[in-house]
Every structure is written in C-alpha cells, then in structure tokens.
Structure 1
Amino acid sequence: MKAIVSIARILVGVLFIFSGFIKLNDPVGFSYKLQEYFSEPVLDIPFLIPFALIIAILLVIFEMVLGIMLLIGYAPRFTKWSLLVMIIFFTFLTFYSAYFNKVTDCGCFGDAIPLTPWESFYKDIILLVLILIIFFNEKYINPIFPVKYHKWVIFASFMASFAFCYYVLMHLPMLDFRPYKIGNNIPEKMKLPEGSEKAEVVYSWKFNVNGEEKIIENTGAYPQIEGEFIGVETSQTGENAIPPIHDFEIQGEEGDITDEVLNTDKVLLIVTYSLISTEKDGYAAVKSLSEEALQKGYKVVGLTASGPEFQQELKKEFGLNFDFYQTDETALKTIVRSNPGFLVLNQGTITQKKHWFDASDIEL
C-alpha cells in the first residue's frame, strides 16, 4: 500500500502542477472559460462573471501549490481534504458539461491539450480514485525533506506563481498554444486537412431593436439591420471537421475584406474584442503606433465585436485615424489576450504579436 500511495501521490501532484502551470501561463484564457461556466445557459451564476479573472488566478495558483504540497508532504491533512473537495467539484462540473453538452472544452489544460467534456470527466474519475487512495492512507504521506523548510518552499511557490501571473497579465502568455501564434499563416490555418469535409459555422448576431432582443443567424456577413448591436456567437453544425481557424472574418460597410487584409504585405491589426471594457490606458500607444504604421505604408485595421456606435465614440475620444471592422468576439479573444492588442501580418503570416503595454517593442 505504501508503494501504491507513493505512485498516486506522484501522479496527482505532477498533474496538478502541470495543469495549474498551463492555466497560469494564460489566466485570461482560463477566465474566459470560467465566464462560460458562470453564464446563464450553464451554471446560471452570472453575478460571478465580473470576478472571473480574480477567481481564475486564485484557483490555478492554489491548484499548482497544492500539487507541490502533496509532493513534499506538507500539511497532509489539509492537503488531502483540499484535493478531495477540488476533485469532487471538478468531477461534478465535467459530468454536468458532458451530459448536458454545455461546454465543449473544460479548459483543464488550456489550449495545450484540448479535451472533450467526456474525456475531461473520465480524467477526473481516474484522479478521484487516486485521491481517495491518498485520502484514506494519510499515514504513508511522509515529508521528503526536513519539515522546517516546508513553509519556505510553499511561500516561495506562492510568490513565484504570483510573479509569473503578473508578468503574463502585463505582457502575453509565454507559451502560445493557439492557432494565432507568431509564425503561423492564417490562411493556411483556415484550411482543412486533405479529404476532410468542412462543418458549417453559424453566426448568431444579437441586436436590441426597439427594446427587444433580436437574433439573426447567417454564415458570417454582418446583418444590415436598424438596432443596437449586442454581440455575436458562433456554433458548429454537424460532426464534420473544422479547421484550427474557422471564425476569422473581417466585415465592414463595404462587405467582407478578409482576403484583402490577408493578401497585403504590411498590415497592423489593432485587436479589441470589446470597446466597452477595453483598457483605455492603452490608447495612447494605439494612436502612436497606428500613426507610425500609416506613415510607413501599413494597412491599419481595427478589429472589434462592438457596434458602430462604440467605434465612432472611441475614434472621437482618442483621435484615432483608422477604421474598425466587425469580427467574431470569440475569435478576437483567441487572437490576443489583451484588449487592445497588436498583430503585425505579412501576407497573412503573423510576424509580431504584443500586449498594448509592449507596443514600443513592435518594429515596423
């Protein structure tokens, strides 16, 4: 039994540390996943949505430090109870998501290892068994070095985790597992592997028309309708394959300009998924960089999911001399974990990507 507990201890500890680190590398992305869980169609606790980022940070740091506590044998009683409570909660969450088909990816390992809801549930069942072995055999959880050093190890782990989290929040994730990472060609990522049949992606556009919410579904074109734009969501029909990038479409008054942008040599994309919640401290950098880009012959394009009203307000407020175009909100959140953020493209290939805080590092 001692050997079994040791194996379970190593497996659970390493998995918690790995899972925590992957999510800590991209806390903003994990907060988007929590917002999905908190939304009305899933758990129906929307009052937690504004606190999603704080909850995400605290949860992943605790998850990672808990793995370290288990491996070194610190506070075994607290550790085993914390592990059990967490795994019961996550097992319920993944089962609920899988059974009711609420969330298509649990976000357990971020974008590094996407799992289906049922895969996530089976993974949690295995973890639950391992944690129960540890829970009922606490006497075999022995410290691996003198106890007097344990508190310092845990303190250092917390401080290092918070420092790393602060760094990626003020810049961008150090490890980018998304299809929009530097070096990727967007048109190539929009293609399916040979022999695959493409699934159709449906766009659901929401508008406030005379005080009532109206939803218009189509394959991507921005609807010509009188009313206040609320947002847009995408969904997949059928079980066919979808390419890594399937919801990147740039729509304006003149129609679809996606191909034009992706076939241009020098493009600066200014990505801000929401003009309502955008960080306005970043717009001095936006204005400065966009003007430099225009002087050097770049095509400057703003991408947002917010409506024309908000676009005009922001342009007027900061004296911006480029136009915003409509793009799916989920796609924009995936492109860059900054609001606003910057991408430099050359014939559709991403050559640079920066948080607004690092705008001065972009070389044009």
Structure 2
Amino acid sequence: MSTSYYTAYNTQSEKPNALLWISRLFVGLLFIFSGLIKANDPMGFGFKLQEYFHVFHLNFLNDYSTWIAVIICALEIILGALLLLGIAGKEVAWGLLMLILFFTFLTFYSAFFEVVTSCGCFGDAIPLTPWQSFIKDLILLGFILIIFVYRARLTPLIKNSFSRNLATFIIFVVSFGIGIYTVYFLPFIDFLPYKIGNNIPLLMEIPEGAPQDEYQHIYTLQHKVTGESKKVTDKVYMAEKIWEDENWEVVGEPETKLLRKGYQVAIPDLIISDAEGNNLTQEIITNPYYNFVVVSTDVTKLSPTDFLALDRLNETIRDLSKDYNIRATLLTASASNDVNYLNDQLDLVLETFYVDAIPLKSMVRSNPGVLLLQNGIVINKWSKHSFPNREELEKTYFHGQ
C-alpha cells in the first residue's frame, strides 16, 4: 500500500479516538457528578421520583422511592466510573444509552406537559427547569451516541484482570455505600434552607429594598363604533391615555404576565399551628432556649424500627427536661387521631404541632428526625439513627448550665 493511504487511514482513525475520549471524559465525569449529588440526598431525590410516579400512576412505588433513588444514583456513578476506566465497555455503552433515552423521555414529558416543575437531575444543589434538563439530556445523548458507535474501542486502562475486578468491586461498594449512608445518617452537604447555622426567622422575611415581582397587564379593547378589537399593555394604556377616549372600552378581564421574578424567600411556607388551628410559628422558631424539634412527616409511616427510635428520642429528651430548661416539640402533617394514638403508645413528652408536609420534608431527611434550635438558629440536626444520648448532649450543649 502507498504511504498516502496509511497517512489517510491513521488520520481517520485518530479523529474518532479523540472524539471518543472527549465524549468519554465528559459523559463519565457528568454521570459521576450527577450520581454523587443525588446520592448525597437520596430521600430528596425519592420525593422527586414520587412526583413522576404520580404522573404515570405508579403510586404503589412511593414507599420504595428512597431505595429506588439509591439504585439510580449508584447506577449513574458506576456507569460513569466504568466508562472512564474503560471496563466492560460494550455493556457500559448500552447502559448509558438506555439510561439517557429514559431520562430524555422523562424530561421532555415533564417539560411539554408541565407536570413536574423541576427534574431533580442535580438534586437541590443545582435546580433545573424541565426544559433546561431536556436540553442537557439532548447534549448528553449526542455524546453517548458517539460512545455507543465506537464502543468496540473502549479498551480498559487497567490491563490486569484481577485489578480490574477489584476496581469494579470497589466502585460498586462505594456507589451504593454513599447512598445507603446518607439515608441513615443525613446528607454530607445540606443544600436545604434548614441546614445547620441558618437563621429560620430571617429566611422567612423579605429584606428591605429587595426586588419585587414585575408583572405586565394586557387589556383587550373594543371600539364601540367600528367593532375593532386590539390588545395593549398597561403601560401603553396609561401612556396614551386611552381611557379618555370614550369610543374604546375594556372587554373582559386583563391578562397578567410575569415579566421578572423578584426576591424569593428561602422559607415561604412554614406555618406551625396547634390542634385548634392557632398560628404559633413565631413562638416556636424564636424560642430563646434550646428547643428540640422532632419531625415526623407521617407518623403512620413509622416502621417498628422508627417507632423504637422515636421512643428513644422521647425518653432522652424527657430525661434532659428534668434538669434543664428546654422545650421539646413534635412537628407533623399527620391527622390528630394518629398523633393521639402515638401519644398513647409512647407517652410523648413532646408538644405536638401541625405543619404542612412540604416544609417538613425539607427540615430533616429522616422520619423521625431532630433539629436543635435556639433563637431561631439551627444548632444541629440528627437522623433517627444518629441522635446522641443524654451524656453526649450534656457535654456538648448543657455543660455550662
């Protein structure tokens, strides 16, 4: 063969390799990042999955949503890591293609039919609208198609088979381990407004001088003589003083269009009330003493293990309250009858108050979970598995009292 043929062949061969490596790095790193972000808070991702289950009439999966989230997050991390290492290239290429086609369908469906307002692709760390998520998935699909076409060229970076198997085993253990750990012991990084150190009352207020929502009102006008109809904005209506012309009249209700979002309050929906419906929000969140806030969104969902954990929390707080000036409350979205039954079973020392489920889910990713508040500031928070005993609490918070 001629030298020119070899040169042309090598040039054509190098281009796909370069394109494959770019795609491999981009997709692999993005899948690992996406999986890790969601594995940091699988319960939150599970809440998002429940929205999709509702849309597709799969509500029977709601009770398993957190563990389904753990599996999806682990799968993303595993596929991304194996792709970078070139292990099981053909199988990984197929897995990536199936996963991205599934995600692309979901994000398009959500965006087009406006059924889910945020896809949860990167958890609460990087909120994306469904259309933004769909565009992101289309870009990813393009890179994954390149990987799929050239999947035969995905050669392992680790040549030794024992080392490859060991690396694969470690990747699986770490990928599932992160999600399982955060389910039991709360996220490593808290992206929610009730994270440690936050001042809850301040996050419920609009700062002075903060930008407000800007709206545009559109009037439909009709000429009394000619019957001509036209639409004008409120600015045009005022600037041209159309109301002074008696030949034009406003027909129907004006259309309102949001032009620009103003300042968004971080905690817009927290209302704490007692059984009689009295609003006690400020009293609870501004308490100057240590306030243990136990959160159980739905007490009917407590498993036997959860029930025992709540009993331990209750007894520890009861023991502390004998010697220290503390307040202890239970916030729940459950019906009062269910709470009364729970109280009969455990003889709760906790004062019971009622809150909508949405803010409760943001407070602590555990059922039950605990926040320690003082003057509205979140001092600490624990899952049902990590709540400390009396001795540890005394040493950390009550040693000076």
TM over 0.5: yes
260-269 vs 75-84, greater mean Cα deviation: 260-269
Residue of 282, 297, 307 corresponding to 1:273: 297
Q: Measure, in 2, the Cα distance between the counterparts of 1:318 and 1:309.
A: 14
How far apart are 1:117 and its partner, in Å? Answer: 1.1
Answer yes or no: is 1:29 the counterpart of 2:44. Answer: yes
Match of 2:218 in 1: none
What pairs up with 1:271-350 in 2 under 5 angstroms? 271-278=295-302, 279-295=306-322, 296-350=324-378
The answer as to whether partners of 2:196 and 2:378 remain within 8 angstroms in 1 is: yes
Conserved in 1, the CA contact under 8 Å of 2:328 and 2:349? no
Matches within 5 A, 1:9-88: 9-39=24-54, 42-88=55-101
2 CA distance for matches of 1:322 and 1:143? 58
Provide the rounded CA distance (Å) in 2 between the counterparts of 1:68 and 1:86.
Answer: 15
Please tell me whether residue 251 in structure 1 is matched to residue 262 in structure 2: no
Q: Give a deviation string over 1:246-289, Cα, whole Å, max 9, x none.
A: 11110112611111112211211111100100221212222123
Contact 2:314/2:350 (<8 A) preserved:
no
Unmatched 5+ residue regions in structure 2? Answer: 1-15, 215-256
**1:173 and 2:187 aligned:** yes
TM-score of the superposed pair, with normalisation by structure 2:
0.77
From 271, 277, 285, the equivalent of 1:262 is 285
Question: Structure 1 CA distance, aligned partners of 2:315 and 2:376?
Answer: 23
Q: Distance in 2 between matches of 1:53 and 1:128?
A: 26
Matched residue, 2:159: 146
Q: Give CA deviations for 1:18-64 in whole Å, capped at 9, x if unaligned.
A: 1111111111111111111101xx11222222221221111111110
Q: Which has more helix, going by share of residues?
A: 2
3-state secondary structure, aligned to 2:29: helix
Deviation (angstroms), 1:167: 2.1
- Bigger shift: residues 119-128 or 156-165: 156-165
Greater mean alpha carbon deviation, residues 238-247 or residues 283-292? 238-247
Q: Which secondary structure state, in structure 2, belongs to the residue aligned with residue 133 of structure 1?
A: helix
Provide TM-score, normalisation by structure 1: 0.85
Contact 2:292 2:329 (8 Å CA) reproduced: yes
Relative to 1, partners in 2 of residues 1:254 and 1:99: Cα closer, same or farther, differing over 3 Å? closer
Q: Give the Cα separation in 2 of the matches to 1:127 and 1:159.
A: 26
- Provide Cα deviations, 1:106-155, integer angstroms capped at 9, x if missing partner: 11111111111111111101100110111112243232221512221111
Q: Equivalents in 1 of 2:261, 2:278: separation in Å?
A: 28
Is 1:352 the counterpart of 2:366? The answer is no
1:182-261 correspondence to structure 2 within 5 Å:
182-192=196-206, 194-197=209-212, 240-241=261-262, 242-252=264-274, 253=276, 255-261=278-284
In 1, the alpha carbon distance for the partners of 2:141 and 2:109 equals: 16
Alpha-carbon distance between aligned partners in 2 of 1:333 and 1:243, rounded to the nearest angstrom: 17
Partner of 1:164: 178
Partner of 1:211: none
Q: Distance in 2 between matches of 1:78 and 1:91?
A: 20
Letter of the 2:278 counterpart: G
Q: For each residue in 1:59-105, what CA deviation from the matched residue of structure 2 results, as whole angstroms up to 9, or x when unmatched?
A: 11111000011000111111111101100000010111111111111
Asked if structure 1 preserves the Cα contact closer than 8 Å seen for 2:196 and 2:379, the reply is: yes
The residue type paired with residue 133 of structure 1 is I
Report how many aligned residue pairs link the two structures: 325
Contact 1:268 1:293 (C-alpha < 8 Å) held by counterparts: no
**Corresponding position of 1:223:** none
Higher CA-based Rg: 2
Between the two proteins, what is the percent identity of the paired residues? 38
Structure 1 residue runs of 5 or longer lacking an equivalent are: 200-236
1:23 and 1:110 in contact (8 A); partners too: yes
SS of the counterpart of 2:174?
Answer: helix
Indicate if the aligned counterparts of 2:97 and 2:144 stay in contact, CA closer than 8 A.
Answer: yes
CA distance in 2, matches of 1:273, 1:289: 21
One-letter code aligned to 1:26: D
Distance (Å, rounded) in 1 between the aligned partners of 2:120 and 2:173: 24
